[in-house]
Amino acid sequence: MDRRNFMKAGVLGAAATPLATPAIAQDVQQWKLVTAWPKNLPGPGVAAQMLADRITALSGGRIEVKLYAAGELVPGRGVFDAVSEGTAELYHAVPAYWGSKSKGILLFGSQPFGLGAAEQIGWMYHGGGQALYDEMYGRFGIKPFLCGNSGPQWGGWFRSEINSVEDLKGLKFRTAGLASEMCSKLGMAVEAMSGPAMFQALQTGALDAGEFIGPWTDSALGLQQVAKNYYWPGVGEPSSAEECGVNANVFNALPDDLKQAVALACESLYNPVWTEYTTKHAASLKKLVAEDGVQVRMFPQEVIDAMGAAAAEVIEDLRNDEDALVKQITESFVAYRDSVGGYMTYADNGQMNARAQVLGY
């Protein structure tokens, strides 16, 4: 995969022209899907195209979805506003990008020391998460759906080794969402930027370190060329949900069968996207180590402990937010995390630990 193909997309945006209603020709609705990603970027860019294709297929061709990569119609970080305002009918991105709208949104994507991919979708379906998700995004005229998950993300690419908590202080670091707040509490200088911009910043020294997603996506961006120390565990994002946001007026105007087609397109992609990440991250990591000289390193325990303490402060801040809905979302998340977390100690965690004891992995 040629990194330069993704660098060209970058984060530059074009002027957007609002649409009052979707274009309709012979009862076919033509929807614009704007994304936060370079086109076909391994991981999220691929998933966005899958979403466009699946909505078109499941609607029987009555909704034709055309994908616009970051910068083709609007900037990558402008897709939320584009859909809210009616410039496009739907977007593909991650909730971690919309903290400026409301801190409560961030919990629907990833949480430091929070939910794994299975737990995240479990909260949506069985812990009251979807109703709160709908209520929060409804403030902005958007109907939201989770439509994928990266699984566990990585701690990041570091130009220098990390041996203590002191090494983090003043470190210029790229991350997103609630992980940004956790890192800030540790004295890190957090930067928000796209994956291609992260490569450039590491290359020039504008960044000391950063995390994007994981081996499959990160290697496509060439991050291994500008930093060799690849740290785990990615406790800032134990999983990261991808989402589809649909303009609420457009969605509500659909007949019931097309509403179901859009919903099913999103829901049916969650597992295929998640498992593709897992499969291709594993293969890419082997290549990074064997062919690119990447050093896989674990954060020291004192760093993990400090991150845990900072993450607890982040959640406490959300519990004390002045917005009642943010408080409600946080309490729902904490209740579900604590409920399933106790069970996972015996279930998934127990099985994985036993396998590691016997097989070494």
- Sort strands 90-93 and 28-35 into parallel, antiparallel or unpaired: parallel
Using alpha carbons only, what angle is made at residue 7 by residues 168 and 46, rounded to the nearest 5 degrees? 95
C-alpha 28/C-alpha 17 separation (Å) is 21
* 153 has binding-site annotation: yes
Instruction: Say if residues 117 and 348 touch (Cβ distance below 8 Å).
Output: no
- Sort strands 229-232 and 295-298 into parallel, antiparallel or unpaired: parallel
* Chain centroid offset of residue 188 CA: 21
Q: Which residues pair with 244 in a beta bridge?
A: 92, 145
Instruction: Say if residues 35 and 45 touch (Cβ distance below 8 Å).
Output: yes
Q: Which residues pair with 31 in a beta bridge?
A: 65
C-alpha 29/C-alpha 63 separation (Å) is 5
* 140 has binding-site annotation: no
Instruction: Say if residues 142 and 84 touch (Cβ distance below 8 Å).
Output: yes
The helix (H) or strand (E) run that includes residue 296 is strand 295-298
* 26 has binding-site annotation: no
Nearest Cα to Cα of residue 163 among 296, 303, 309, 305: 303
206: how many CB neighbours lie within 10 A of its CB?
14
Query: How would you label 241-261 residue by residue, b for 16+ Cβ within 10 Å and e otherwise?
Result: bbbbbbbbebbeebeeebeeb
C-alpha 88/C-alpha 68 separation (Å) is 10
CB-based burial label for 286 (10 Å; 0-12, 13-18, 19+):
exposed
Nearest Cα to Cα of residue 157 among 243, 266, 234: 234
* 212 has binding-site annotation: yes
C-alpha 53/C-alpha 39 separation (Å) is 14
* 351 has binding-site annotation: no
Annotated binding site for Na(+): 212
Annotated binding site for substrate: 153, 174, 211, 237
Annotated binding site: 153, 174, 211-212, 237
